[in-house]
Amino acid sequence: MNTRIPSSLNWLIGKHARIDGQICKVQKQITKNKEILAKLEAKISDLSTIENKLVDLKADLVCIERALSMHEIRINTENISPISPQGKRIDLPYGELSSSILTFLKENRENPLSTDELALMLAKRFPHLTATAEQSLHFVRNRVRARLNNLEDLGIVIRVSSSPSKRSSRWALPKAIPRP
């Protein structure tokens, strides 16, 4: 025997379900917006740090301009064009990037490693490299790729495969490592 649900009760059940669905949707939006807000707060603190650095740099520039104005030979500082700094350097001691790459390749001599694998190994060995957004895994991968290309030019590593279908090249040590 079927029990008939009155239409008013059915309407209330449907209405309850729709409102409950809207509540779930709004709660998800609130959670998502709180995450975005937390990221923005981190960006704001980064921005204040950058602004403080800008104030310091401007103060340094004023000091240098004052020193230039005291010199016998007059220099118009407006005619000095700015020199932009080179790309960012990876935060490792000199030679550590090459040393680490070569160590990873020696440890995996039987299997050539891809650029991505080498970047991940480097990030695991030095966690501080990917701790900030400024030096993300993408940044580390680009630095590893550039260093591998330089090492290849020197004959220290060889590119095993570089097909267009693969995302990154595979690298290995040659049978005998030449001395530069």
Predicted confidence at residue 165, as pLDDT, reads 57
Measure the CA–CA gap between 84 and 100, rounded to whole angstroms. 30
Helix 115-125, helix 137-153: angle, nearest 10: 120
Predicted confidence at residue 105, as pLDDT, reads 92
Predicted confidence at residue 151, as pLDDT, reads 93
Predicted confidence at residue 157, as pLDDT, reads 92
- The candidate with the shortest Cα–Cα distance to 170, out of 154, 146, 148, is 148
Residue 179 in contact with residue 156, Cβ under 8 Å?
no
Predicted confidence at residue 128, as pLDDT, reads 80
Rounded to 5 degrees, φ, ψ at 118 are -65, -40
Q: Where are the alpha helices (DSSP H) in 71-154?
A: 96-107, 115-125, 137-153
SS3 6: coil
Any idea what DSSP says for residue 112?
-
Helix 96-107, helix 115-125: angle, nearest 10: 110
Consecutive 10-residue runs of the chain (180 residues): their mean pLDDT? 79 88 90 89 82 88 86 81 73 88 90 90 84 72 91 90 67 70
Measure the CA–CA gap between 135 and 137, rounded to whole angstroms. 7
Buried b / exposed e over 168-179, threshold 16 CB at 10 Å, is bbbbbbeeeeee
User: Could you tell me the pTM of the whole model?
Assistant: 0.50
Predicted confidence at residue 31, as pLDDT, reads 92
Predicted confidence at residue 149, as pLDDT, reads 92
